[in-house]
Amino acid sequence: FAPWEDPNEKPLIQFKNVTKRFGDFVAIDNLTQDIFAKEFFALLGPSGCGKTTMMRMLAGFEAPTQGQIFIAGQDMAKIPPNKRAVNMMFQSYALFPHLSVWENIAFGLKREGKDKDAITARVEEMLRLTRLSKFAKRKPHQISGGQRQRVALARSLAKAPKLLLLDEPLGALDKKLRQDTQFELMDIQEKTGTTFVIVTHDQEEAMTVASRVAVMDEGQIIQVATPAQIYEAPNSVYVADFIGDVNIISGRAKPNGEKVATQWAEGQPDIIGTTATKFDAGQEIHFAIRPEKVAISTEEPQDAANKVQGKVLDIAYLGNISTYHVELPTGHVIKAQTANTRRLSRRQITWEDPVWISWTDTAGVLLER
């Protein structure tokens, strides 16, 4: 059982019908969501959708206009930020430039008035955890960006918060370092058992680190699920489109038992799909399929549930994969992706080539909205 599937598990964080208004503007719109202890929970969505506002309400920097937030069963309404078992790590890291790495990590512990031995032991532990022991004496300007990021993390974790909020924690790192650091972050989260809530613009990052991802739009959560569920079974065109690459074909539903035929273009065979969702005949329906689920071939495939002829518009070679843009007679352009596992396949498909694209009846999802 994952904690969110276990009816006996109590959530660490509860948003209950939370609305946040800034003047007339609704930043968070009647949002209800549980987050469980030890989760690595990612908030993902376009700029301005309310991610930071959710974090700031958890930290206590903003109060909900309506609704309640509970942490470990306690209503946070009257609890100031410094009385919450919550820490927030900012993108800028906000390290003290004149203090050493050691002193930066110790800062919050000293302010709490902990005794010297306890502070030393805790700082040493945090240095080990973040692999910074060698750099303890250096100042922030004497270490790399990735190391500074780890100092900020060590400092945020020193007081052993129940909940750590990470706002674009890796935003300042270059791509390669960012990817390595994602794994470190997961490792540290697992070792400490702290609940992490992360805000990121980067959908790949959210998919890599998170136990669950919440995809947001205009102050609402549209879908919350594991990365794999979000990718394989998006609940809407919005989510399908936000995460990864996708082809969307809209049409009218013709239900037939567990299958639905989607009528999408004059003179084209219906798209046959399998779905648990019930559709009414004639209802608007959106068929979503990932490019890697679309096969491309020069010869007509024999037993594909769905196949359409088209012409190759262009090809992007990306080393491990190639993406083909295939134009259909209807004007639709469908992306098909192939894995380049074999060196130089027998016959390369090229521009203007007439091709078949095909997929099975379970390769895509059928969506109501």
The interface region with ligand ATP, picked from 47-55, 78-86, 141-149, 334-342 by CB under 6 A, is: 47-55
Tell me which residue has tokens 């990021």. 149
Nearer residue to ligand ATP within complex by CB, 44 or 129: 44
Note whether 169 binds ligand ATP by CB under 6 A.
Answer: no
Contact residues for 329 (Cβ-Cβ < 8 A; gap 6+): 267, 268, 309, 310
Long-range contacts of 183-189 (CB under 8 A, 24+ apart): 183/208, 184/130, 184/150, 185/153, 185/209, 186/40, 188/129, 188/130, 188/153, 188/157, 189/40
Q: Quick one: which of 44, 49, 154, 295 contacts ligand ATP (CB under 6 A)?
A: 49
Residue count, binding to ligand ATP (CB under 6 A)? 12
> What angle (nearest 5°) sits at the alpha carbon of residue 233, between those of residues 232 and 236?
125
Looking at residues 171 to 230 of the shown chain, list those that interact with ligand ATP (rule: CB under 6 A).
Answer: 201
Shortest distance, CB of residue 33 to ligand ATP, whole angstroms? 15
* Three-class DSSP category at 160: coil
The pattern of x and - marking residues 11 through 40 that bind ligand ATP according to CB under 6 A reads: -----------x--x-x-------------
Q: How many CB atoms lie within 10 A of CB 218?
A: 14
Q: Quick one: which of 47, 82, 302, 320 contacts ligand ATP (CB under 6 A)?
A: 47
Looking at residues 269 to 308 of the shown chain, list those that interact with ligand ATP (rule: CB under 6 A).
Answer: none
Estimate the crossing angle of helix 116-129 against helix 145-158, to 10 degrees.
140
- Which of these, 192, 226, 196, lies nearest to 211 by C-alpha position? 226
Q: Quick one: which of 2, 17, 48, 110 contacts ligand ATP (CB under 6 A)?
A: 48
What is the full DSSP assignment across 285-304? EEEEE-GGGSEEESSPPSS-
The interface region with ligand ATP, picked from 48-56, 224-232, 257-265, 352-360 by CB under 6 A, is: 48-56
The interface region with ligand ATP, picked from 33-41, 42-50, 130-138, 206-214 by CB under 6 A, is: 42-50
Nearer residue to ligand ATP within complex by CB, 42 or 101: 42
Using CB under 6 A as the criterion, which residues of the chain lie in contact with ligand ATP when the complex forms? 22, 25, 27, 45, 47-53, 201
